[in-house]
Structure 1
């Protein structure tokens, strides 16, 4: 019979506290909800790529505005009749692939030889400016109306909800066409291009607020019954405090996600209005206006390809980034 092994010498090594006694203590660092969401978003490679593209697109739009209106480097409205072939009685760009060259990387327009790359670059700031400001207007109105309806309820909720139904049933496209027809040359000190931009921002933003309002109202109805709201009421908090300190901070995530998904919708709507001729007046370059002009030259596909591709890629990038942002802020909704 063998004696049991002597473990007295290894007692210190077996004791976890003794083993960690000589190691430096490391403080545990907490993470905020924003940091956790950022870590989730970084793991979504598609959303990150789309976000990088959106940032580059915004920088490109700002550069196009500065190069065109400030530094006068890009000339989207300069005619190059020498690049248009009229030998056989039809207008067509000279050279292969729509006149593509080192000086005109996207080719030139078949009608007057304007550089397509310069017009696509200059049209980016028009589309993004209208889409961003219209989204900001609709989200602001929708948030105010949705929070008010969801929190107070009763006749206030009924009144605002019926107003949402009226706006949702409103023929927005017909109204925009009719409004442009009676628009004066000058209004509120604005005229020309600035007046058209302000009109499109108002029409798109003001009449689209019910979409954001319904989402915010539904979230508010759920949040107002949560324990932290009851705790605030029990401590004597009044309506304004609960609205601004308890409800609105918890509505930031759905509002932000919906905004990223509403921007591409507004880009498409602005392009549709410009395509129908009720958007920005020529010769200002817009993606929808370029598609409208290209419709008459269906045998020259490059004229329609570049503005259509710009709209497609921009809308796709915003949608992918919005989907990734939604998954990062609310992983339970996946």
Structure 2
């Protein structure tokens, strides 16, 4: 039989706090879910690069008049002296690209392409953001209501989603945008066209988000914290706004960042087909539509097309990174 080891009482009964203090270690600090997500997002260089590009594009759209006054000319100003009378092409080997016209000039009328691309960012981003906001509001509201209450409410909203998803959106947008007069609902000109595009794109895209939110709500309403709120006497509106919606922020943000680029492409497609914002107001899709007639002058099509490509790519990369950062099953 062996004798017990002679361990000093002070060492065997030392408190954990004393051990930590003796080793000069830092105090353990908890991290919120937002801090964890932010740390993950910062480590994703591709997503951060996309976020930087998005911020840059937003600043370009906001300060478009200032940038044009520094580096360009009025987007509606004609410079016909910079185009050849016979071929109607810009004078010069690079499409008229000079220190005064950074992206060259358009054929026939000689308008500054740089200024029109910068101002086109205003229209495209404005329509995409507001249409996405409209889709998020409608889709989140109806998705939460359908998922939480269930029954005939869920059936009614679900069938409405099926109808909207089966609706030929592009055909309807072409028909509606083509028959609306120049003045309607107290609006006219570009304001009417922008409002119409926001309504068409945003109102008919909400079922995609609505289905996702409905599925998430069906899962969340069976969780313990919802049962606890019900046992304390909480009613439906309280549970929806205080218990469910805070847990739906992550999927809403993720899908919104992925919906914005599709809305940008849809607006560009409508402008390309001639039912978007009417000329001479510059839009990226409208510029591509005009450039299709001058396929021998590539710079006329490259710059607006490149603007659409970079914008959509940046939002997709940031959306993918945000989805990984907010995934609770991801690595800490």
- Separation in 2 of the partners of 1:250 and 1:139? 15
- Separation in 2 of the partners of 1:278 and 1:222? 42
- Separation in 2 of the partners of 1:163 and 1:105? 49
Match of 1:194 among 184, 191, 194: 191
- Separation in 2 of the partners of 1:300 and 1:218? 50
Cα displacement (A) at 1:15: 6.7
- Separation in 2 of the partners of 1:34 and 1:281? 43
Taking structure 1 as reference, are residues 154 and 67 closer, same or farther at Cα in structure 2, changes over 3 Å only?
same
Cα displacement (A) at 1:8: 9.1
1:267 pairs with 2:264: yes
- Separation in 2 of the partners of 1:154 and 1:210? 18
Please say if residues 13 and 19 of structure 1, whose CA atoms lie closer than 8 Å, have aligned partners that are also in contact.
no
Please say if residues 12 and 19 of structure 1, whose CA atoms lie closer than 8 Å, have aligned partners that are also in contact.
no
Please say if residues 135 and 263 of structure 1, whose CA atoms lie closer than 8 Å, have aligned partners that are also in contact.
yes
Deviations 1:270-293, CA, capped at 9 Å, x for gaps: 000000000000000000000000
Partner of 2:77: 78
Partner of 2:60: 60
Taking structure 1 as reference, are residues 65 and 239 closer, same or farther at Cα in structure 2, changes over 3 Å only?
farther
* Residues paired across the two proteins, number: 326
- Separation in 1 of the partners of 2:51 and 2:239? 33
- Separation in 2 of the partners of 1:246 and 1:15? 43
Please say if residues 40 and 328 of structure 1, whose CA atoms lie closer than 8 Å, have aligned partners that are also in contact.
yes
1:306 pairs with 2:326: no
Cα displacement (A) at 1:184: 2.1
Please say if residues 65 and 125 of structure 1, whose CA atoms lie closer than 8 Å, have aligned partners that are also in contact.
no
- Separation in 1 of the partners of 2:330 and 2:216? 14
- Separation in 1 of the partners of 2:66 and 2:217? 42
Of the structure 1 ranges 141-150 and 103-112, higher mean CA displacement relative to structure 2 is found in 103-112
Partner of 2:275: 278
Partner of 1:51: 51
- Secondary structure of the residue that 1:279 maps to in structure 2? coil
1:295 pairs with 2:292: yes
Name stretches of at least 5 consecutive residues in structure 1 with no aligned partner: 1-6
Taking structure 1 as reference, are residues 228 and 21 closer, same or farther at Cα in structure 2, changes over 3 Å only?
closer
Cα displacement (A) at 1:181: 2.3
TM-score by length of 2: 0.91
Cα displacement (A) at 1:175: 1.2
Taking structure 1 as reference, are residues 169 and 65 closer, same or farther at Cα in structure 2, changes over 3 Å only?
farther
- Separation in 2 of the partners of 1:26 and 1:124? 49
TM-score by length of 1: 0.91
Partner of 1:38: 38
Name stretches of at least 5 consecutive residues in structure 2 with no aligned partner: 1-5
1:116 pairs with 2:113: yes
- Separation in 2 of the partners of 1:90 and 1:66? 33
1:324 pairs with 2:321: yes
Please say if residues 128 and 267 of structure 2, whose CA atoms lie closer than 8 Å, have aligned partners that are also in contact.
yes
Match of 2:239 among 237, 242, 255: 242
Partner of 2:3: none
RMSD value, Cα: 2.6
Deviations 1:250-285, CA, capped at 9 Å, x for gaps: 000000000000000000000000000000000000
